[in-house]
Amino acid sequence: MRDAEWPQRIIEFSDWSRAESVAVTRLRPLLTAATRDGLLQWSFIRKAPTWRLRYRTPPGGTPPLDQALSILVTDGVIHAWVPGIYEPETTAFGGPAGMDVAHELFHRDSLHVLDQLARWQQSPDPPGLGRRELAVMLFSVSMRAAGLDWYEQGDVWARVAAERPRPPRPVPQRHRAAVRRLMTVDAGRLSNSGDGRLAPLADWISTFEWAGQQLARLNRHGRLERGLRAVLAHHLIFHWNRLGLPREDQSALSTLAKEAVMGTSEDAASTPGKSNATATVAGVNSDSTETSPDDLRARFVDKLVSNGSIRTPHVEEAMRSVPRHLFVPQAPLEKAYSNSTVDTKLDSAGRPISCASQPSIVAMMLEQLQVEPGMKVLELGAGTGFNAGLLGHLVGEKGHVITIDVDEDIVEGARSGLEAAGLDNVTVLLGDGAQGDPANAPYDRIEATVGAHAVPHAWLDQLAPQGRLLSPLRLRGSVSRSIAFERDAQGRWRSVGSEMNTFMPLRRGIADDPRAYIPLSEDGSVTLVANGDQDPDANALADVLAQPRAEAWTGVTLRGPESPEWLELWLTCTLPEGLSHMPAKREAIDSGLLTNPYPSATATFDKGTLTYLTRRKADHTAADGASLYEFGVIGHGPEAEQLTKRVADAARTWDADFRNREVAFEIQPLDAPAPEHEPGRFAFDNPLNRIIIEWQ
């Protein structure tokens, strides 16, 4: 085989943590189209921060991917790509005949891995297993198809474990038992018999059966130039790389599988395993091989209590009782019990449109909502169903929760998670959350777990007289707060508390809150996010960062950990277009295109001019010796000096006159009399209401 037959493209991702998302949303359709145009046997291997893409072209063909990859670079989707030389490990895979089988397996497995990543990303409860389960089950299928007996399979696992050594430590028996079930389950039969978790994997399972059979055939005919078990062990390591299984998981799983067969120094070898025609995979979860979900959850909730996210025993009990990992089965346990979001659905551009929210935010909003046993609660935005499950625990047996989502797959995923958690006092409905659920009104509490720019009338109409509405409300520009509203004695909807918060917006309904993404640099490293109440001139802003620069320092200081949320709220109220998020990649800062933008990426614009906030360590400290940081403004564009000064002056006004005041919010109908103008009082009309923001 000549190297020219196998072009290799080394693809470097702009953000390694988003590599899989980019591969699913951009590389997968690109490869599908290229296959129709004659691309043969493509496959990939991971080597951070790159994926190495190998493929064959027909005789006399030319590489069809280069132009498409260059477009991805221009779009900022990938950082760069370079051609490379692919050198097949022919000896390791058993010689030329074994390498032919390997290339076909590489191709089929790569295709199935991308399909599985798409299922994990697009559905909150994908019809399949997690990485760890797949990692064990699929290759056990291949070894059985190759005719390896139980102890020969154990030898393959031992070879991999030797390549992935780990410090000796005791492994709980339940983990070996779970791995053993995966090693012996009759995956082929179950995938063709309607098993809900394995049916989508039928072709993938068949691929590994085929590979095992082909390698066994070559071995029988003396055409393998290396031992069958050694070849299989090498294939296993390559498959786990494509699957994205971390090295520590490879070590743990291969050790567990070896011990499931051979035993340990403390126990005897197990009895030979047979393909278990009655076992299912439903009871095998993605337990960390070191720590149980209960242990991880307990430790994580301890952190939420200690950092103040959880303030009441009622919310603490709910967070300790409802297992989050059942609602995000595609996530590793360690991520399920970390303070991070889990993206569960992406749009066509690879941007998340549904996710499991940060647990600290979930807890904070539950504290704001003040749910009591026996209440009836309406949630808008079912998501994974985890928050609805917590609400179900809080209202207890005599209460009820109804949650609504606009996407059928999300609704089904939430139902599955709630069923797995054993919560039967929660009803999940398909519909536009902005319409609420009048059939079961009134509600004691209504909680929106999606961002809204306006408050739908249905939410207010469906609340009980003493009810409370909690909504992450986008007030103006990009600035949002989670605000709790109740009726006062005069029937006005007044705030009873608010917290800084931003959620994914409502979609496809009467309160749809779309966003526009405007590139501010040719390489796509800086983007302006414009909201529906803003009117940016994308053409005028296209090269704004290359325009004349201005800089102003405000003298306004905050302590290091102190949030600038009230400063940002003031600026979004006082500036012509409010504030916008301006996410930037690291290279934009390293290249000097941006100068130390504040982490919240806060920008404002006016026609073809743009400014953003920055900060530096102040030359003095607070009275108690704490470090202070001064905010500044950097501007670009034809009116950079003027807009920079305007933003800096607004910051100084807040600092001098309004910094120590409380802020209240009110929802008014659009036909209400216009409020009297007073310093610190702002009124903004949206399509459904008027929102009053007042520094008191």
Instruction: Give the model's confidence band at 349: pLDDT under 50 very low, under 70 low, under 90 confident, else very high.
Output: low
Contact by Cβ (8 Å): 440, 376: yes
- Which has more confidence, 612 or 339? 612
Q: What is the pLDDT of residues 364-379, one digit of tens each?
A: 999 999 999 999 999 9
The residue among 340 and 553 whose pLDDT is bigger is 553
DSSP-H helix ranges across 276-326: 293-306, 313-321
Backbone angles phi, psi at 265, to 5 degrees: -65, -20
Provide the pairing of β-strand 400-405 with 426-430: parallel
Would you state the pLDDT for residue 291?
61
Identify the bridge partners of residue 609 per DSSP, sorted by sequence position.
606
Given a cut of 60, is residue 493 above it in pLDDT?
A: yes
Residue type, 344: T
**More confident site: 91 or 68:** 91
- Given a cut of 70, whether residue 636 has pLDDT beyond it is yes
Quick: pLDDT tens for 89-128. 999 999 999 999 999 999 999 999 999 988 887 654 444 5
Range 12-41 average pLDDT: 83
Q: 191 and 205 in contact (C-beta within 8 Å)?
A: yes
Residue whose token pair is 């967070």: 319
Which pLDDT does position 336 carry in this prediction? Answer: 87
CB 283 within 8 A of CB 187: no
Question: What number is the average pLDDT over the span 614-631?
Answer: 88
β-sheet bridge partners, residue 447: 379, 470
Q: Which pair of structure tokens corresponds to residue 1?
A: 């085989």
| Nearest CA among 106, 128, 350 for reference residue 241 | 106
Residues 6+ apart with CB under 8 A from 2: none
Express each pLDDT in 670-695 by its tens digit. Answer: 999 989 989 999 999 998 999 999 99
Contact between 536 and 577 under an 8 Å Cβ cutoff? The reply is yes
Q: What are the pLDDT digits (tens) for 384-393?
A: 999 999 999 9
Q: Which residue has the higher pLDDT, 75 or 162?
A: 162
Separation of alpha carbons 352 and 348, rounded Å: 9
Compute the distance between CA of residue 517 and CA of residue 444 in angstroms, rounded to an integer: 38
Q: Coil, strand, or helix at residue 3?
A: helix
Nearest of 98, 321, 278, 320 to residue 181 by alpha carbon: 278
Burial tier of 195 (Cβ tally within 10 Å: 0-12, 13-18, 19+) = buried
Confidence of residue 451 (pLDDT cuts 50, 70, 90): confident
Tokens, residue 227: 């031992």
Local structure of 304: helix, strand or coil:
helix
pLDDT tens for residues 7-22? 889 999 887 878 898 8
| Backbone dihedral angles phi then psi of residue 613, each to the nearest 5 degrees | -80, 145
Angstrom distance (rounded) from CA 412 to CA 385 = 10
For 53-197, where are the alpha helices, taking DSSP H only? 66-74, 96-122, 131-145, 150-163, 173-184, 187-191
Q: Are 556 and 630 in contact (CB under 8 A)?
A: yes
Instruction: Tell me the two tokens of residue 248.
Output: 């520590």
- Helix, strand or coil, per DSSP, at residue 564: coil
Closest CA to 672 of 656, 644, 692, 643: 692
Question: Which pLDDT does position 277 carry in this prediction?
Answer: 39
Two structure tokens written together for 558: 């905050």
Q: Does the structure show a pLDDT above 60 at 248?
A: yes
Instruction: For residues 286 and 184, give the distance between their C-alpha atoms in angstroms, rounded to a whole number.
Output: 17
Q: Is 613 helix (H, G, I), strand (E, B) or coil?
A: strand
Instruction: Quickly tell me which residue has 């603490």 as its tokens.
Output: 316
404 sits in which H/E element: strand 400-405
Residue 43: its H or E element: strand 40-47
The rounded distance, in Å, linking the Cα atoms of 148 and 347 is 44
Which residue type, as a one-letter code, is found at position 301? V
How far apart CA 160 and CA 297 sit, in angstroms, is 31
List of residues 6+ apart from 17 with CB closer than 8 A: none
- Average pLDDT in the chain: 86
Please tell me which residue, 200 or 681, carries the higher pLDDT value: 681
Q: Strand, coil or helix: what is 215?
A: helix
pLDDT of 440 higher than 80? yes
Instruction: Report the candidate in 433, 411, 361 with the shortest Cα–Cα distance to residue 390.
Output: 361
Residue 473: Cβ within 10 Å count: 27
Q: pLDDT-based confidence at 265, cuts 50/70/90? A: very low
pLDDT bin (cut points 50, 70, 90) of residue 267 is: very low
pLDDT digits (tens, 9 = 90+) for 590-603: 889 999 898 766 89
Q: In the predicted model, what is the mean pLDDT of residues 30-50?
A: 84
CA quadruple 183, 322, 392, 380: dihedral positive or negative?
Answer: negative
Burial 541-578 (b: 16+ CB within 10 A, else e): beebbebeebebebebbbeeeeebbbbbbbbbbbbebb
Judging by beta carbons within 10 Å of its beta carbon (0-12, 13-18, 19+), is residue 671 exposed, middle or buried? exposed
Residue 455 is classified by DSSP as -
Tokens of 547: 């325009």
pTM higher than 0.85, yes or no?
no
Could you tell me the sign of the dihedral formed by the alpha carbons of 371, 376, 381, 382, in that order?
Answer: positive
**What letter does residue 537 receive in the DSSP assignment?**
-
Question: Is pLDDT at 70 greater than 90 in this prediction?
Answer: no
* Catalytic residue list: 354
Position 508 pLDDT exceeds 60: no
Residue 586 three-state SS:
helix
pLDDT at residue 61 in the model: 56
Q: Return the CA Rg of the chain.
A: 29
Cα–Cα distance for residue pair 415/523, rounded to 1 Å: 42
Sign of CA dihedral 285, 288, 291, 295: negative
Under the banding of pLDDT at 50, 70 and 90, the label for residue 1 is: very low
Q: Which tokens is 421 given?
A: 């958690």
List % helix, strand, coil for the chain (3-state, nearest 5).
Answer: 40, 25, 35
Cis peptide bond prior to 88, omega within 30° of 0: no
Give me the mean pLDDT over the 598-624 stretch: 88
Give CA–CA dist 327/387, Å, rounded.
10
Query: Is the predicted pLDDT of residue 288 greater than 60, yes or no?
Result: no
Phi, psi of 179 (to 5 degrees): -65, -40
Asked which of 222-226, 233-237, 271-275, 363-367 is least confident by mean pLDDT, the reply is 271-275
Can you tell me whether residue 662 is helix, strand or coil? coil
pLDDT given for residue 127 in this prediction: 46
> What is the pLDDT, as a whole number, of residue 58?
65
- The dihedral formed by the CA atoms of 686, 691, 693 and 694, expressed in degrees to the nearest 10: 140
Contact assessment for residue 553 and residue 630, using Cβ atoms and an 8 Å cutoff: yes
In angstroms, the Cα distances linking 380 to 387, 406, 407 are 11, 9, 12
Report whether pLDDT(353) > 50: yes
Tokens in use for 186?
């009759």
Measured CA to CA, the distance from residue 199 to residue 201 in angstroms comes to 5
Mean per-residue pLDDT for 212-238?
95
Question: Can you tell me the distance from the alpha carbon of 258 to that of 283, in angstroms, rounded to the nearest whole number?
Answer: 21
